[in-house]
Amino acid sequence: MTSRTLVMGVVNVTPDSFSDGGQWFETDVAIAHGRTLLEQGADIVDVGGESTRPGAERVPEREELDRVIPVVEAMTGRGAQVSVDTMRAAVADAALAAGAGLINDVSGGLADPDMPGVLAAHGARYVLSHWRGHSDVMTGRAVYTDVTAEVLAELSDRVRAIRAAGVRADQIVLDPGLGFAKNAKHNWRLLADLDQVKALGYPVLIGASRKRFLGQILAEAGAESLPAFRDRATAAVSALAAAKGVWAVRVHDVAGSVDAIRVAQAWREAENER
């Protein structure tokens, strides 16, 4: 049987995330939200304490720890598979000690030179994303001659660097980093070239959920396009990404993507039975 694409549900413990506006800021509310996502079929909950939306300012490390660790402890205490969305080695270290099984680093290890050492020490799974700088500068760095070739080359460089620091190949998951130093055209090109990302030989995660490039196609069609109205388009990306055999999708609305992936899975299995 073909292995199913996993659903990673987002629990942002931030007051300023672009897509859910800090709705889940309170620790208890974040924990309750994480539980709901698990009930809806999330395979992993991704806990984040720092917004990465374009233009966002950095959160002090102490505050990020205070936001994230209690939620990680509560979620892992209930047997959930927890990932932590952080660019900081100290937060990754504390989260892994608190029971997280995966670190999701949108900077691919570039934001904090200590990140590879922490991953090597814990042996934890690591989502390595393509990144060209923090939120305040990333829009200006969305300049490519051939986006796919450049993203693949830069991801490969990061893989080499973290492997040299002692991280094993089987710890690594790659993410093209949609929206991170990329405009809508770049995102669509990378999705269309997903097979090339997969060909690097690592599991692939896609994070398209509620992003601006989905809002743009909805707006062009005259549909509601604010982040809260992007979940159906997100589920469509999940189905198509699952059809391409990605390892996981990172989404805010879990229920829609769980169904979308069921459909893609049944379709793929019928193809494989031929």
250 binds ligand PMM (CB under 6 A): yes
Instruction: Kindly tell me which residue out of 6, 68, 100, 106 binds ligand PMM, with binding defined by CB under 6 A.
Output: 106
Binding to ligand PMM in span 193-222, by CB under 6 A: 205, 207
Residue 272 Cβ, how far from ligand PMM at the closest point, in Å?
28
107 binds ligand PMM (CB under 6 A): no
127 binds ligand PMM (CB under 6 A): yes
Strands 44-48 and 172-175: unpaired
Distance CA 204, CA 196 (A): 11
Total Cβ atoms within 10 A of residue 220: 9
Binding to ligand PMM in span 15-44, by CB under 6 A: 17-19
265 binds ligand PMM (CB under 6 A): no
Is there a contact between 110 and 135 (Cβ–Cβ < 8 Å)? Answer: no
Encoded tokens for 43: 């395979």
- Catalytic positions, please? 211, 250
Following DSSP, what letter does each residue of 189-233 receive, concatenated? HHHHTHHHHHTTSS-BEE--TT-HHHHHHHHHTTS--SGGG-HHH
59 binds ligand PMM (CB under 6 A): no
Residues that bind ligand PMM (CB under 6 A): 10, 12, 17-19, 48, 51-53, 85, 104, 106, 127, 129, 175, 177-178, 205, 207, 250
